[in-house]
Amino acid sequence: MVPTGFQLFQLVFQLIALLIAVFALAMAAFPRQMTRWQMRGPDGTTQIEPSRMRLLMTRLMGIFVAGIALLMAFGSRVILP
């Protein structure tokens, strides 16, 4: 039998892991929008676009972080007693 406080902790742990997974998948799906910068230059606003390698690494890290977050969300019943 697990105490009620621990079940609440486990639920919050799973919800936070799912939230991290959602944002990581958004980062993997839309890397250009997530890494675009706007700066003020002498001629007005300037947009700095990321390179192709940076976009690829952003996608890969988003998928990796989402995978670990989903493992923590759905595997927490095995990890935490």
pLDDT tens digit string along 39-76?
666 776 777 777 888 889 989 999 999 999 999 888 87
**Quick one: tokens of 57?**
């690494």
**Quick one: tokens of 69?**
């977050």
Name the pTM for this structure: 0.75
pLDDT in the model for residue 19: 95
List, in sequence order, every residue forming a beta bridge with 39; answer none if it has no partner. Answer: 46
* pLDDT range class, residue 24, cuts 50, 70, 90: very high
Calpha distance 10→74 (Å, rounded): 11
